[in-house]
Amino acid sequence: MYEQMVTARHYEERLVDEYLVGKQPAFDISAGPIPGELHLAAGHEASGAGVCMHLRDDDTVTAPHRPHHIAIAKGVDLKRMTAEIFGRKTGLCRGKGGHMHLFDPDVNFACAGIIAQGCPPAVGAAMAAKKRNTDSVAVAFLGEGAIDQGGFLESLNLAAVHDLPVVFVVEDNDWAISMPKDRVTDVQNGAQRAAGFDLPGVRIDSDDATAVYEAAGEAVMRARDGNGPTLIEVQVHRRMGHFMGDAEAYRPEADIDRAKQRDSIERLAADLRSHGVTDDDIDEMRERAHGRVEAAISWAKEQPEPEPAEAYENVFTNPPAQAATDGGSAADAPGDAGETGGDN
């Protein structure tokens, strides 16, 4: 768990470096090797790692627009995920998805870039598990800004009515971009939403990875045993802006400082030491994590970019026969998009 968290934190720190290439001194979101929005999850590591420790490859996870720490904890291929973020041909999604649309069928991981919209597919994965009598579970991660969204509330209800093996994990980092929680909901915490649907709601008031691990263990066990859904909310911290380039003018300095002072990784290291783990062991884990991140980034940067014509592939799994129906000239008609995504 510690190693996953260190991997995630170092990964985000390194992505900052890479993202800023070509974006200084003037910040242009479309410049550099990693263009587009980048939502980093430094300060969220405990929830991803604490929950995913209980999951197998056949369990489904849906992550929101801030997905890296969850993907890492779920075991998504770090090299191919990094290549995707760099927009390369060998990325998880062949360069089509980018950082908030990561998909890895090998470990049943998917993302949704729109608030709360990963919840219904997680319910669907749980539905499939139940219908097939497997003991797989599904976990939907979302932010506290998503707890007012219909997609989330409807998913809670559907999961509860059908006793589906799904766990909803709200990562409460206090901010929906610039909107503090108390301006968008009157409940103290997101776990209270569970009561309205008659399912268990658990609030973890700190990003203590051990506490998350324990609560998630119970929830995942409940789901695997056929006892239905659970809603967990974890207090995490947003150590950076909503997206890279967010100056956070709306956010009190003290709040940023507070977020940075509470470090789940340091806390877990202290816990480990108190349980007899040596500094050497901790250093070794840290070095291994850093090495993995560096290897992934180096590999990704060496990967080729996709050919422009690949833009027309993968619209369908079963593409219609040569779409001769469009009246464009050969110059702008795409080639035969008969190739489908498979192993590569």
| Position 148 contacts another protein (CB under 8 A) | yes
190 Cβ neighbours under 8 A, 6+ residues apart: 144, 147, 170, 172, 203, 231, 233
| Position 255 contacts another protein (CB under 8 A) | no
Tokens of 31: 């410049």
Q: Which of 146, 169, 170, 293 lies at the binding interface for another protein (CB under 8 A)? A: 146
* 44 phi, psi to nearest 5 deg: -105, 0
| Position 309 contacts another protein (CB under 8 A) | yes
Q: Which stretch binds another protein (CB under 8 A): 46-54, 207-215, 225-233, 303-311?
A: 303-311
Contact of 265 with 5, CB cutoff 8 Å: yes
Residue 82 vs residues 49, 93, 104, 267, 301: alpha-carbon distances, Å = 19, 11, 12, 28, 9
For 72-93, b/e burial (b = at least 16 CB within 10 A) is bbbbbbbbbbbbbbbbbebbbb
| Position 92 contacts another protein (CB under 8 A) | no
Site for another protein in 273-292 (CB under 8 A): none
**Residue located via tokens 């400082």:** 257
Tokens of 133: 């009598």
Q: Which of 21, 22, 24, 28 lies at the binding interface for another protein (CB under 8 A)? A: 28
Q: Which of 307, 322, 338, 341 lies at the binding interface for another protein (CB under 8 A)? A: 307
Q: Which of 225, 250, 287, 298 lies at the binding interface for another protein (CB under 8 A)? A: 250
Tokens of 38: 């980048």
Q: Which of 195, 270, 295, 315 lies at the binding interface for another protein (CB under 8 A)? A: 315
Applying CB under 8 A, the residues found at the interface with another protein are: 26-30, 35-37, 84, 87-88, 91, 93, 95-98, 100-101, 112-117, 145-146, 148-151, 176-179, 183-185, 245, 249-250, 305-312, 315, 326, 328-329, 331-332, 334
